[in-house]
Every structure is written in C-alpha cells, then in structure tokens.
Chains A and B, each alone.
Chain A
C-alpha cells in the first residue's frame, strides 16, 4: 500500500476561521459556545450552540465575501459555504495546484456532511406549503445535496479525480478522510481533498435533536458550561457547525514537490453496531472494534498511542461507554495516554466533527500538546485514563487516535503519526 500524508488543513468552527487562530484559542481553553441569537428558541428546550463567528478573516471570523463570489453564494446552502471556506484554506496551505490534465485526473475530493442543506430544505418546504411551488429556486437541489460540496470544490480547483461524499451522521468526517486516504493508498488518486461540512444550527436541526433528547438543556443560562464530556453534570451534547478539510497526498508525491508534511495516516478502521438507531451497543463494542481495526490496518498498537481525541459528545450514556471501550483497548497503557474531548470547546459539529478533530489530533502531534476537556470538574466515574481536564497539557505526542461514532451504529477510528 502507498503511504498517505496530510499536507494542508482548513477549519471553520465556533472558535473561528483559520487553523492557527482556532488552535490557539482551543489550547488557551476558550469556548465557542454561546446563546443562539440567529433565530427564536422560545419553543426549543436547547437554546445554546457553537456558532461560527461572523467577521473578517483577519480577526478569525467568517465573511463569505472574502471567499466565494456573491453570485455563487446563493447557489449553496450554508454547509457548502463552510466546506468551501475550509477547502480554500487547505488548498492554499498545501500549495498544491494541479496544472496538467493528467495531474487534475489524479486529484479528487471526498467531503461529506451528516445532514446537508437542512435550512435550504426547510425554507423551500415552507414556500411549497404556502402554494409557491413555482417560485422554488432552480438552485434548490444543487444547494442542498450533500455531495455538492465535493462537486463545488472540484469545480473551483479543477480536480477531476474521484468525486465522492461520505454520509455517516457524526462519523462522516473520519469516514471521509479515511476512505479518501484509501483511494490514494490503492492508487485511484495521488491527492484527495477530504473532510466534512455541517450547518445544522437552525430551527429544524435544533428541534430534531431536542426531540431525540440528545441536546444539553440545563445550561441555557451558562452556554460555555453546556458541553462537559465525562463530567457528572453533563446532560447532552451542544450542537456546533462548521467544516474541517485536509489535503491528503501520496507520500512520494508530497516529497517530490517539497510539500510541508504535517503527519502520516497511521491506520483507519470501521465497524457497525447492529444494535440501535441512536444508542451505542453495550461496552461500546463497536468503538472497540473500530479502534482495533485501525491498529490492525496501520500496523500500530495501543502502546504506540500518546493522545486520543475522543468522540466524547457530553451525552450521559455515550461518554462513559467510549471510556470503557478505550480502557478495554488500552489496558495497562491506558494510564500513559492523554484523552480529551475538544467538543467541550466547540460543541458537536456532526458530520464535520471528525474532520475538525482530525486536524486537532494532527496539531497535537505537531506541537506536542494535548488540548483540554473544558468543564470536566467532577468525572462521573474514575478512570486511569487522563482526560486532560480544564487545561492543555504539554507532552510528547508522536501518535494520535481520533474516534467518531454516528447514529445508525456507525463507528470510525483513525490514527496519525509523526512523519519522518
């Protein structure tokens, strides 16, 4: 199998726009969670979310005018806006510009989304309901379809290789990056732009997750405390939005052009629970098997791992089950790893979560620092695993593992190692 490395990264998330800006804030222990202001939450039990801050990119905000021509903006749902901005950062960061037709054929895109154009679907449904079906925009379908983020990115950069999208709820980001890395490993492409994009902080998205009793509702008056993985007072996840996109590249291809190499893919594994539509299986058996498959795939062992970016959504059931699976997987080495949930700072970005957390895992290797789990004051149960409470920890990190699990009982784990 060919080796696959990461040569570019881009982030749009509640802590802002831009990898270095977001990473600095994350390590400082800042939170991107706030009260929802963009729509009326009177009827909703959850009233907080991680929202992408508006503003110029020089200040770490999102101003679409800087990134996408006005004429194109209206042809895309907000989730595509997020993905386009993250992809633009990642492409610029990698410095890769395919020039010949052959080079274009060898570069593809696999960016997914958990839900896709929910707000666009909502607004258009209202029009149809009000008898205005004739006024439905010709851009409605291409604005809302999930794979249009991959389509739009390919059009922007002339990437004519594999064009694909993963759609596996909250595991989307890891599946997209893992599957894209396999396309390179198998020789289908030399370069893949991969990740996840989401924009479900809207009335329909919040109402839906409220109804499934998945969201935190007890911290509406203290938004930054709402996401508290493993803490005994946690009561659900906090919805986030944004996108994470990486440029994956075959190792020799990256080396030949003198690209900056952030990290190498160290293994990728998947599993299914075959258990329940929303709840994890007992002992989080699916998580255990996804991690096991990743180790087998990459030829690494739990003893090699220094940092784990947990799925850790802050739900009462999921957090402790993932912890149990990690304890079972890591055994005695469990007391030597650091595991944190960065969802404590940015909330749960659903289909973008695994992609943004992949980037955090890579930066943890680059800077030898484990980002903190905010609000973890009193763990609901003790563990030998260091969950990096409240503040970041400097430590040697050569190998990092990132977990993502989704509704439907879908699990994905990915390993990154320092490239040498």
Chain B
C-alpha cells in the first residue's frame, strides 16, 4: 500500500472511529463506515490539511469511498 493510502486510512479510522479492518478501498464512508454528511465534510477537510491539497466542492462530492480519496490525492500529488 502506498504512503498516501496508509495515511488516508489512518485519517478515516481516526475521524470515523471505525475498526481499521473495515477501511477497505471499496468501503463507502456513508454506507459502510457510518459517516453522515457532516462527517464527510470534516473528512475532506482533514485530507486537505494532511496532504496540503485543495479539494473543491464538486470534487469532494465525488469522493464517496476510501479508494476515491486515495485516487484523487495521488492524482493531485502527481501533478
């Protein structure tokens, strides 16, 4: 697993208070990890802070799974 994926997973575990094993790439924040809409807003803010990236609202809306988040951040970092 990449360094980014590791860090994303850690942030998700910390913010949503879920078991690390549940945080699979396919896991949906809302459907599988018990987040509500405010939790996802906070999660995106935490990603921005941790990785020093900007995630505009329209992009944030499309980040619904752990993999979505990892892919988006990896792409930003590559640019």
> What is the minimal beta-carbon distance from B18 to any residue of chain A, in angstroms?
8
The answer on a CB contact under 8 Å between B15 and A71 is yes
Residue of A nearest to B18 (CB): A71
The answer on a CB contact under 8 Å between A137 and B42 is yes
**Which residues of A111-163 have CB atoms within 8 Å of chain B's CB atoms?**
134-135, 137-139, 142
Question: Contact check: which of B16, B41, B49 meets A138 at CB < 8 Å?
Answer: B41
A69 at the interface (CB under 8 A from B): yes
The answer on a CB contact under 8 Å between A139 and B42 is yes
CA of A134 to CA of B53 in the docked complex: distance in angstroms? Answer: 13
B17 at the interface (CB under 8 A from A): yes
A70 at the interface (CB under 8 A from B): yes
List chain B residues, Cβ under 8 A from A137: 42, 45
B78 at the interface (CB under 8 A from A): no
The answer on a CB contact under 8 Å between B17 and A70 is yes
Residue of A nearest to B35 (CB): A71
CA of A376 to CA of B20 in the docked complex: distance in angstroms? Answer: 57
List chain B residues, Cβ under 8 A from A135: 45, 49
The answer on a CB contact under 8 Å between B38 and A71 is no
> What is the minimal beta-carbon distance from B46 to any residue of chain A, in angstroms?
10
> What is the minimal beta-carbon distance from B8 to any residue of chain A, in angstroms?
17
CA of A56 to CA of B38 in the docked complex: distance in angstroms? Answer: 31
The answer on a CB contact under 8 Å between A139 and B16 is no
Question: Contact check: which of A69, A134, A138, A142 meets B17 at CB < 8 Å?
Answer: A69
The answer on a CB contact under 8 Å between A71 and B45 is no
- Chain B facing A: main interface SS: helix
The answer on a CB contact under 8 Å between B17 and A139 is no
The answer on a CB contact under 8 Å between A71 and B17 is yes
List chain A residues, Cβ under 8 A from B41: 138
CA of A142 to CA of B17 in the docked complex: distance in angstroms? Answer: 19
The answer on a CB contact under 8 Å between B15 and A139 is no
List chain B residues, Cβ under 8 A from A69: 17
List chain B residues, Cβ under 8 A from A75: 38
List chain A residues, Cβ under 8 A from B17: 69-71
The answer on a CB contact under 8 Å between B15 and A138 is no
> What is the minimal beta-carbon distance from A130 to any residue of chain B, in angstroms?
14
List chain A residues, Cβ under 8 A from B42: 137-139
CA of A142 to CA of B41 in the docked complex: distance in angstroms? Answer: 14
> What is the minimal beta-carbon distance from A109 to any residue of chain B, in angstroms?
21
List chain B residues, Cβ under 8 A from A71: 15-17
> What is the minimal beta-carbon distance from A285 to any residue of chain B, in angstroms?
47
List chain A residues, Cβ under 8 A from B15: 71
Residue of B nearest to A75 (CB): B38
The answer on a CB contact under 8 Å between A139 and B38 is yes
Residue of A nearest to B54 (CB): A134
> What is the minimal beta-carbon distance from A131 to any residue of chain B, in angstroms?
15
List chain A residues, Cβ under 8 A from B38: 75, 138-139, 142
Q: Mark B1-41, 1 if CB is under 8 A from A, else 0.
A: 00000000000000111000000000000000000001001
Could you pull out 18 A-B pairs where Cβ atoms are within 8 angstroms?
Answer: A69-B17, A70-B17, A71-B15, A71-B16, A71-B17, A75-B38, A134-B45, A135-B45, A135-B49, A137-B42, A137-B45, A138-B38, A138-B41, A138-B42, A138-B45, A139-B38, A139-B42, A142-B38
Binding site for B on A (CB under 8 A): 69-71, 75, 134-135, 137-139, 142
Q: Given A75-B38, A137-B42, 10 other A-B contacts at CB below 8 A?
A: A69-B17, A71-B16, A71-B17, A135-B45, A135-B49, A137-B45, A138-B41, A138-B42, A138-B45, A142-B38
